[in-house]
Amino acid sequence: MSLNPDASTLQSKFKDSIKEVIEFRSETTLIVELDSLRPILEYCKTELGYDFLIDISTLDHYGEEPRFESVHELAVVDDSKHLRLRARVEEDQEVPSVVDLWATADWHEREAYDMMGIRFTNHPDLRRILMWEGYPYFPLRKEFPLAGKPTDMPDVAFTGVAPLEGGPFVTSSGSGGRVSAEPRAKGES
Per-residue pLDDT at 146: 79
128 within some domain: yes
Output 181 or 72, whichever has higher pLDDT. 72
Is residue 42 predicted with pLDDT exceeding 90?
A: yes
Percent residues over pLDDT 90 in the chain: 68
Per-residue pLDDT at 82: 96
Q: What are phi and psi of 37, to 5 degrees?
A: -60, -50
162 within some domain: no
Contact 85, 37 (CB under 8 A): yes
3-state secondary structure of 57: strand
**How many domains, the chain?**
1
78 within some domain: yes
DSSP state, residue 143: T
Per-residue pLDDT at 148: 72
144 within some domain: yes
CATH of the domain at 136: 3.30.460.80
169 within some domain: no
Per-residue pLDDT at 145: 81
* Tens-place pLDDT, residues 131-186: 888 888 999 999 888 777 776 665 555 545 545 555 555 555 555 666 655 655 55
What are the start-end ranges of the E strands in the chain?
18-24, 27-32, 52-60, 68-75, 82-89, 94-96, 119-121, 169-170, 184-185
Domain that holds residue 126: 5-154
Please state which of the ranges 77-91, 115-129, 130-144, 151-165 shows the lowest mean pLDDT: 151-165
Angle (nearest 5°) at CA 89 between 85 and 95: 70
Per-residue pLDDT at 171: 53
Per-residue pLDDT at 76: 96
165 within some domain: no
Contact 97, 120 (CB under 8 A): yes
Percent residues over pLDDT 70 in the chain: 78
